[in-house]
Amino acid sequence: MSGSREIKNLLYDQVARIGKAVSSPKRLELLEILCQGEKSVEQLALDSHISLKLASAHLKELKSARLVVTRREGKNIYYRLVDSHVATLWVELRSLAEERLLELQSAMQALVSRPDELAPITGSELLAQAKRGDIVVIDVRPASEFMQAHLPYARSMPVTELRKRMNEIPRDKSVVAYCRGPFCLMAKEAVELLSKEGVCARRIELGVAEWHAQGLPLVREF
């Protein structure tokens, strides 16, 4: 085998490391969670509903492919994405799958329980309406994720606190909820709860990763 062929094989081998790292459904879920910001190993295990041991193993694979980095604080280890390109990789990969795979399209459609559940609005339109005060945008992710990055004009209202904070929701305006992205069910749960309380509520499928991928601004508290 010629030297040039060996070099070419090596090039493809290195790119394939990324493909191998994202070939696991659970590692993809971990990447989606990390798109929300830095998290401890324990929190990642909890959010992805797997054991700490399995979460550590998956994160090791992602780190080996240089998709995530770590920092230690005392006995705790925290993970974050290397940079925004990794978040864009997740968004583009998911978007391609949704475009090409009928099974995924069907599964996505099954998430919509009623025709008016999704707000028919673009990101720029959402920004304009929220700025004018025509709508109320709520971020129903955990408050720690909101603090790391959120949509402009959004209010932090975690879905776990929503029932107790219902009095903070204005009844004279439409409410638009968002969470981690199209695969996340927190916004759907929030809309169902708000609708039962008589609030005009819808959700958008955009999360902070999708928002950033479209070139729209984010607010970063840290």
Q: What is the pTM of this model?
A: 0.92
> What's CA 145's distance to the chain center, in Å?
10
Q: Look at residue 53 in the predicted model and tell me its pLDDT.
A: 97
pLDDT under 70: residue ranges of the chain: 1, 221-222
Which residue, 134, 141, 144, is CA-closest to 174? 134
Hunting for tokens 């490391």 — which residue is that?
17
Please give the pLDDT value at position 103: 96
* The dihedral sign for the CA sequence 121, 123, 125, 128: positive
Residues sharing a CB contact under 8 Å with residue 85, sequence separation 6 or more, in sequence order = none
> According to the model, what pLDDT value does residue 221 have?
65
Over its C-alpha atoms, the chain yields an Rg (Å, rounded) of 19
The token duo for 167 is 């009095």
Alpha carbon distance 111, 108 (integer Å): 5
Q: In this predicted model, what pLDDT tens digit does every residue of 60-78 receive, in sequence order?
A: 999 999 999 999 999 999 9
Give per-residue burial for 115-141: e unless 16+ CB within 10 Å, then b: eebbbebebeebbebbeeeebbbbbbb
Known catalytic residues are 179
